[in-house]
């Protein structure tokens, strides 16, 4: 069995993992995986809402319904995400990217990012309502202006640097400089991991040393909700970067075949822009 890379060398066969089967039959290869992931994602919100309804002195529903739905939604989301990512970014490890499906995949990524704008937009609207009308009983770390720390600024610079390295990695690939491409792609992945480590350390400092947690008022819920959601997106981006980095080490991609790199680059730049806006609004706006 030989391997076909994105440069069009070789031919792969014999791989029939579930994510690349034509399922359901007649709907196209792996066509329903994003739909399954979306159902699981929507189930998160339903599970949380039912969990809230099941709490209190007079619960409206059984308190176990919400957690059960949340866990089942997690299984559905992870299953759909596996199939989606495998189909979009890993199956071509064997099959190679064809020259005619680049535009649909890029368009799909743009549509996905549009839904992400709506998701983060809803969170920011919630924060703006808090900032306008319920800006009281703030945690001490916010009232004292310590929420915008040196660590946050350094972490922001790390993420901006990763966006720059991603841009030039893609540019190096298009220019035919594979060595520079692989090095800059690896640097992007490394910087992304450093950012995630910095955010975990920031949470540790806030919770352990400052006593600032998720339940500390409306600001606490907005802060951890938005930064946690962004952290999950960065973690997903790191997974995508890991996939394309390994493929790059195997000699995949060229100036003519680079759809996966293009779509991952679009996603990574998106999470970087969201973080800059989040820091300006959630960190900087809190101390004004």
Rounded mean pLDDT of the chain?
78
Encode pLDDT of 108-155 as tens digits. 777 778 878 877 887 788 777 777 765 566 666 776 667 788 889 999
The confidence score (pLDDT) of residue 150 equals: 87
Confidence of residue 182 (pLDDT cuts 50, 70, 90): very high
Residue 11 has pLDDT above 60, yes or no: no
Q: Which of 127, 49, 170, 159 is nearest to 284 (CA)?
A: 127
Encode pLDDT of 40-80 as tens digits. 888 877 887 788 787 767 778 888 888 899 899 888 888 88
Encode pLDDT of 260-279 as tens digits. 888 899 999 999 999 999 99
Distance CA 234, CA 164 (A): 16
């Amino acid at each position: 069995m030989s391997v076909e890379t994105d440069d069009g060398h070789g031919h792969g066969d014999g791989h029939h993992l579930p994510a690349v089967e034509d399922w359901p039959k007649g709907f196209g290869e792996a066509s329903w995986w994003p739909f399954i992931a979306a159902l699981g994602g929507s189930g998160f919100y339903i599970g949380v809402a039912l969990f809230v309804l099941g709490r209190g002195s007079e619960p409206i529903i059984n308190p176990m319904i919400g957690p059960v739905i949340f866990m089942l939604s997690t299984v559905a989301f992870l299953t759909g995400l596996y199939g989606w990512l495998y189909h979009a970014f890993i199956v071509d490890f064997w099959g190679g990217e064809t020259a005619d499906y680049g535009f649909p995949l890029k368009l799909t990524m743009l549509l996905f990012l549009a839904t992400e704008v709506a998701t983060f937009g809803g969170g920011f609207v919630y924060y703006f309502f808090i900032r306008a009308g319920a800006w009281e009983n703030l945690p001490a770390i916010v009232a004292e202006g310590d929420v915008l720390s040196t660590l946050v600024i350094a972490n922001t610079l790390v993420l901006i640097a990763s966006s720059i390295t991603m841009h030039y990695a893609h540019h190096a690939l298009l220019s035919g400089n594979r060595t520079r491409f692989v090095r800059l792609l690896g640097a992007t992945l490394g910087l992304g991991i450093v950012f995630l480590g910095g955010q975990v350390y920031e949470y540790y400092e806030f919770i352990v040393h400052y006593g600032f947690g998720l339940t500390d008022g409306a600001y606490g819920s907005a802060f951890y909700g938005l930064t946690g959601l962004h952290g999950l997106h960065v973690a997903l981006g790191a997974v995508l970067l890991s996939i394309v980095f390994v493929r790059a080490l195997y000699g995949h991609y060229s100036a003519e075949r680079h759809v996966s790199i293009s779509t991952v680059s679009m996603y990574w730049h998106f999470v970087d822009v969201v973080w800059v806006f989040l820091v300006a609004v959630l960190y900087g706006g809190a101390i004004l």
